[in-house]
């Protein structure tokens, strides 16, 4: 049995709670190499997402993902809004008319999300961005077998490793790139929020 629209809504709600719980951590990470607003921006965006879900929950997985996309684009400042918005919008298109998400559809949606982020941000692996977490996550999802929960868990594991890999990197994209060598020895906040979202989705899928 795949993930229905209700399951996707539950996963998004879980992600919003995780982002709120880690707001201060994301702020600290962004204080070191950015504008110190990533945590607050992400919390504000996902709080708005939950409010819209409360008002009128969509009836298909694709519509849920599109709601997330449009809300994040309109409420999250900095680079995160357009990047995450594009990711969810591309994922929504990849899901299409599916009423339930199985492993293959989830992997396809993650691939589409990554392609959207790369197209929007022009970043590659090694640039010290969310791409460093999302790229290995997608590869893990595409190699996974079995349930949606197992697929997302593999993706989350890989994203966490990818986020950790950004610590020694010198940033080549975004605000952090202005710091040059001083951007090393800090985790990229976007890669961390990517890992947090994927872990939240995985945990929610395991409970559904």
pLDDT of 208 higher than 90? no
If 0-12 CB within 10 Å is exposed, 13-18 middle and 19+ buried, where does residue 7 land? Answer: buried
Residue 52 has what pLDDT? 97
Phi-psi region of 2 (alpha: psi -120 to 50; beta: other; left: phi over 0): beta
Residue 4 has what pLDDT? 96
pLDDT of 2 higher than 90? no
Kindly report the pTM of this predicted structure.
Answer: 0.96
Contacts of 56 by beta carbon, 8 Å cutoff, 6+ apart = none
Per DSSP, the three-state class of 101 is: strand
For the stretch 76-90, pLDDT in tens is 978 899 999 999 999
Of residues 35, 33, 37, the one with CA closest to residue 23: 37
d(CA 120, CA 101): 25
Residue 141 has what pLDDT? 98
Two tokens, residue 30: 């962004």
d(CA 205, CA 55): 23
Domain ranges of the chain: 5-207
CB 19 within 8 Å of CB 76:
no
* Fold adopted by 5-207: 1.25.40
d(CA 23, CA 78): 16
């Amino acid at each position: 049995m795949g993930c229905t629209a209700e399951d996707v809504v539950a996963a998004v709600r879980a992600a919003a709670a995780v982002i709120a719980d880690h707001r201060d951590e994301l702020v600290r990470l962004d204080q070191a190499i950015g504008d110190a607003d990533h945590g607050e921006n992400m919390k504000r965006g996902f709080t708005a997402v939950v409010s819209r879900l409360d008002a009128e929950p969509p009836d298909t997985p694709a519509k849920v993902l599109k709601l997330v996309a449009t809300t994040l684009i309109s409420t999250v400042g900095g680079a995160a809004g357009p990047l995450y918005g594009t990711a969810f919008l591309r994922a929504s298109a990849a899901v299409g008319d599916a009423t339930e998400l199985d492993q293959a559809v989830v992997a396809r949606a993650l691939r589409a999300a990554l392609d959207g982020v790369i197209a929007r941000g022009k970043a590659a692996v090694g640039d010290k961005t969310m791409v460093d977490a999302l790229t290995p996550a997608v590869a893990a999802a595409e190699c996974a077998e079995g349930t949606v929960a197992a697929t997302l868990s593999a993706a989350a594991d890989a994203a966490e490793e990818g986020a950790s890999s950004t610590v020694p990197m010198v940033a080549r994209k975004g605000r952090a790139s202005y710091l040059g060598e001083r951007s090393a020895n800090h985790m990229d906040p976007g890669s961390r929020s990517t890992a947090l979202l994927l872990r939240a989705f995985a945990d929610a899928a395991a409970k559904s």
